[in-house]
Amino acid sequence: MATQPLAPLDALVDACAPLPFAPLPQLTDEPPARHETQDGRAITWYRADDFLAAGGVPDSYAAMVRREGVSYRPALAMRYMRALFRELTFLLAAGLYLRDCAAELSGDRLWLSVDEDGCLRTPRLAPARAAVLAGGPDDRGVDVERPEVTVLADRAELHGWASERLIACAGPLIDELHRHTRVGRRVLWGYVFDCLHFYMLNPARWLGADMTSAWRRAEEFAEVLGASGAPTRKKPRMVTFGEADRPGVWAVRGTCCFDYRADPEHGYCVTCPLERDEVREPRLVTAFPSSEYGMARSDG
């Protein structure tokens, strides 16, 4: 029995269903109501451009500072980046890697939610639209005739399309965070570059796919993103570890999260660019036993 072709982002949600870590935003046709209740807490929704105009970045950043109870600004800024962009970077990375599709990001389609304590919650894209590579429902399982679907000729065009929209949507928010915290734009964008790599690598590991191929796809997109104007000092790199005849692969961030400065007892993360590889390798072996090289339990 033939199955009904799906919208591209519905097909992506289905592709992410087997993953234990898949932090997707809400994807809907309709914008949210201004006020609602989630998990017993009052939520207020802002369109991203209105959020900026209303001083949403300084206000929600201050709320996060109160909640986190740390004072080191670069660490706080990176935690804020995680709260703001984790779902969006996963949506984009997983879409490109798993489905050759890219959600259309824009300041008038991205909705940000703030709870009664002023903290950011899961964002929403509404109306949710996407671009896909040229091809029909038979080979991609999606309905390319839908009005919300943009069909592009090849991967280079898809990467350029996605990069331009990511920069246009995320750039003003990052610029405002930079102005408010004085943490460098290259550092803040470094979070995005790192996540785009890890959020292709991690699904590949869980699905038992070729991780080096996933990494190359991330590098390919990152090159286009950088050429489109997104700044960063250093991109992440892949490392090998474990048994010589069956090595594991994982990655090292290009940008530190600075948690070791916020909490000295925390130390360097296993993916920290400041950690020495000879110290990192045994930690990776412990984290990912050889029998579970395809079963990483990490969000990068």
- What does the block give as tokens for 37? 């209740």
Tell me, what's the pLDDT at 168?
A: 97
State the Cα torsion 30-33-34-36 to the nearest 10°: -140
Tell me, what's the pLDDT at 264?
A: 79
Vertex 60: Cα angle to 56 and 64 (nearest 5): 165
Tell me, what's the pLDDT at 299?
A: 41
List of residues 6+ apart from 192 with CB closer than 8 A: 81, 85, 89, 166, 170, 174, 230
Residue ranges with strand state E in 89-160: 101-103, 110-115, 124-125, 130-133, 149-152
Distance CA 31, CA 110 (A): 9
Rg (CA), the chain: 19
Distance CA 280, CA 265 (A): 17
Closest CA to 121 of 93, 171, 86: 86
Cis peptide before 147 (omega within 30 of 0): no
- What does the block give as tokens for 20? 């234990």
Tell me, what's the pLDDT at 297?
A: 38
Closest CA to 112 of 104, 129, 97, 124: 124
Distance CA 256, CA 18 (A): 30
pLDDT block averages, 10 residues each, the chain of length 300: 66 94 95 92 96 97 91 95 97 96 95 96 94 67 74 95 98 98 97 98 93 96 98 94 84 96 88 95 85 44
Tell me, what's the pLDDT at 5?
A: 57
- What does the block give as tokens for 235? 């991109």
